[in-house]
Structure 1
Amino acid sequence: MKSTEIYQMKRNLLTFLEKLTKGLSKPRKKFYSDILYGMSKAQNTLLSDIARALEEKIDLQYTIKRLSRNAAEENDLKQIHRNYLNTLKTSISDNPLVIVDESEIVKPYAEKMEDLALVRDASKNVLEKGYPTLNFSMATPKTKHPLPLYNHLYSSKEEDFQSQNIEIAKGFNTVHTFLGKKKATFVMDRGYDRNMIYEYVEELGHHFITRLNDNRYLLHKNRRIKVPDLANRRKGKINFKTEIQGEKYHLKVSHIKVELPVLQDTPLYMVVVYGYGAKPMKLLTNHSIKGKDDVLRILKSYITRWRIEELFRVQKEEFQLEKTRTMTLSSLRILYTILNCIIGHYSLAIEKNNYHTQIVLARARPSNKLKKIKFYLYRFIRGVSKILTFDTVGIRYFHRIEQRSNQLSLL
C-alpha cells in the first residue's frame, strides 16, 4: 500500500471532519474525529473496534471508556447535523428525489439498553426489542446513491416522545428548511399512505409519489371507489423494461385521474403498474401527467425508492449497526448519526468520480469488474477500510498542530 494513498485518505476524512465539527470545542472535535476515523477504518460501529482502529499506545480499555464517556453527551448532535447538511447544499439538483422510509435496529437479546421498545423486524415480520429509525435520503443526480438528509433514531418509551406522526413531521420540516425555495418529490412506500402526510406535503408545497394500500378509497368521476377496483379498469398501455434490485421486469403502465377527499382542490393521478408482482402496483402522485413521458417519469422515480433499501443494508451489513452495544440512547444516536454522515460523504465521492474515487474503488479488490456495477457504495466502503488498515499511527498525530508565537509582547 502506498503511503500517499493513506495520507490522501486521512486528509480527505479530516477535511470532511473540519466541516462537520465547525463551531464545536476542541475536545468534542477530537472525539468526533476518533469516531469518524475509527468507524471508517474498522468498518464497524462497535466502540471496541473503533478504539482498536485508533492505534493508541495506551491500554485499550482506557480508550473505550473515553469514547463511551464522550458518546453519552449529545448536546452538540444538532450542530453536527446542521454542519453535515451544509456540506450537501451544492449537491442539490432542481426537484430532487427525497426517499422516505423507516427501518429498525433490532436488539432481541439486550436487557439493559436504555428505553428499549418493541419494533417490527422487517426481515422476519415479528415484533422484537429495539429502536425504530426514520430516514429521509436524497438520491444523487447521476449515480442515484443515497445522501442521508434526516436520519433519526428514537424510542416510543422516551419521556418526550409524542407520536410517530410528529416524528415524521419533524423530518419533513427539516428537509423543507434545508431545501429552501427548491421543490422536492417525496417518494414513499405504503406505510406513508396517510391523509395527514398528503395534507402536510401539499401544505409545504412539495410533490409526492406514494404506493397505495389496497384498503384506500379514491374519488373517480365523483364516485368513491376502492383502489384495487379502480386499478382493474386499466390494463396497461405503456410498455416499460427495467431492472429492480438485480431482477429484470417487463412492466405495463397506465394512469387514472383521481381525487382525495382531504385534497379535493388538488388534481391527483393514480399510476397502475402491471408485471412487478401478482397484483398491480398502485402509485398516487400530485405531479401533473400529460402523456407517456410523465407516466414513466413517475414510475422511474418510484423505482429509485429501492435505493434506500440499499442504505439500510449498508448500515446493517457493512457497518454491523445492529451489533452496536451502548448503555445510553444518546451514545447510539451519535454513532448512528456519524455513520450516516460517513455514508453521505462516500456517496458524494462516488458522484464526483475523481481520481481519488477510482483509487479507493480499486483497493477493494472484488472479483467482478467495475463496469458491471451500478451501486458502488459497498465497494467504496471496503476500499476505504482496506487503505486505512495499513495505517499504524491512527489519526492522533495527523491533526493540525496549533503553533504558538514565541514573540514576547512588549508592555
Structure 2
Amino acid sequence: MTLKLTVIGTGYLGATHAAAMAELGFEVLGLDIDPAKIETLRAGRVPMYEPGLDELLARHVEGIDGSTGRLRFTTSWQEVADFGDVHFVCVNTPQKHGEYACDMSYVDSAIDALAPLLTRPALVVGKSTVPVGSAARLAARVAELAPAGDAVDLAWNPEFLREGFAVQDTLRPDRIVVGVRGGTAEKLLREVYAKPVADGTPFVVADYATAELVKNAANSFLSTKISFINAMAEVCEAAGGDVVKLAEAIGHDDRIGRKFLRAGIGFGGGCLPKDIRAFMARAGELGADQALTFLREVDSINMRRRSHMVELTREACGGAFLGKRVAVLGATFKPDSDDVRDSPALNVAGQIHLQGAQVTVFDPKGMENAARLFPTLAYAPTALEAVRGAHAVLHLTEWKQFRELDPAELAGVAAERVVLDGRNTLDPQLWREAGWTFRAMGRPNA
C-alpha cells in the first residue's frame, strides 16, 4: 500500500515539500493554522515567490482542472492524524528575540498538537533546522503523548533548500540525510525517497545528533566561506588588489572550489544568519563554545560589509547624504526570491535613508515585502525610474536583469553617474565606457 504523507506547516519549506511529494506520486495532506494561507494553497497558489512552485502546486492540488488531485490542505489536526502514515514537520524555527538561541516554540507546539492524536503506527519526521539534541527530546515527548506508544517513531530529515532552486533541490537533492534510531524509520524514509535515490541521490543514514548537526555544519561552512572572501576584499582594498581575480585564482584549487567566493555586501535571509547564531548558542549550552568562537568573527565580517557599503556610498555622495538621492537596485536577500528577511540590500538602504538621503528602491519580486518592512523608503516601478535623479546607484541584489541594464540609458536620467556594485556581478568596462564612475567592493577603482 502506498504511504500517505502529511506536511505540517505550509510556509516556504512546507509548501515546497508537499508539492514535491505529490509530484513523486504520494497522496499528501498539508496543514497550517492560518486559514488564509490554506485558502491560497487550495487555489493552487503559494504565498511567496519561488520559481516553478506555483506550476508544481497547481499540477496536483485537488479541485484544480487537470490536476492529479493528490494534494489537499486542511487546518484540522485530527484529519492529519487520521490520514497520514508519515508526518513531516516543516514549521519555522526563528531566532529568539534578544538572543542568539533558536525559538523552538513552533516545533514544540506542532508535536504537542499532533502526538496525542496518533492512535495507530506512524512516523513523525522533523525537517526544520533545530539545535542538536532536539530530536531526542521530541522523540521522548512523542512517546509520552501518543496513544499508539512505541508504534509511533520519530526521525530527523534536515532540509537543504536554496531559495530560487527549492523545487529542484527537493525533487533532485544532492543528498538525503536521515537521523533514525531504528530500522523501521529508515525503511519508511527509503520508500518516501525511492525515486531520487534510484536517480543517484546519496542516502545518508545517521543518528539523531549527527543529522541535526549536518544542517548546522553546512550553513556554518557556507557562511565562513562567504565571510572569508569578504575579509579578503577588505585586504584587497587596503593593498590595491582585485578580489574578483583573487577568488578566480584560488577557486581553481579543487580543495577550495569556486562556489560562494563572490565578495560583496554579505549574506542574509531567513537561514544562514540565525542558524549560525543558534549553533553558537547551542555549543555554549553543551560546553563546547570554544569550538565555534570563529563563527562570531564570521558574523561580524558579514555585518561589517553592510556598514562598509554605507560608507562607500557616503564617499560617493561627497561625504554627506543630506540632499542626496540614492537609487538601490535590489531588495531581496538573493535573486529569484521575494524574501527580504535580514536582507543586506534593505539594511543598507535603510541605513542610508536614516542618515539623510532620499532612497528609492527597485526589485523585480520583493517590492511588496520590502514596503511592509521599510515603509519609509521610496519604491519605483522600474530600474530606470529608481535611477532617475540619483546621485549614486547601488547594485545590491544580483538579479539577472540588473546585469542586462543599459548603462548608457541609465546615464541619461541619473543626476550623477556614480555606480557602486555591492555584488561584483556588473561589467566595470561596460559602465565606465558609458561615462560612469564605477566602484566595486574589493576591486581597484580603475
Interval containing the TM-score (normalised by the shorter chain): under 0.3
Q: Which structure exhibits the higher relative contact order, with contacts defined as CA atoms closer than 8 Å and separated by 6 or more residues?
A: 1
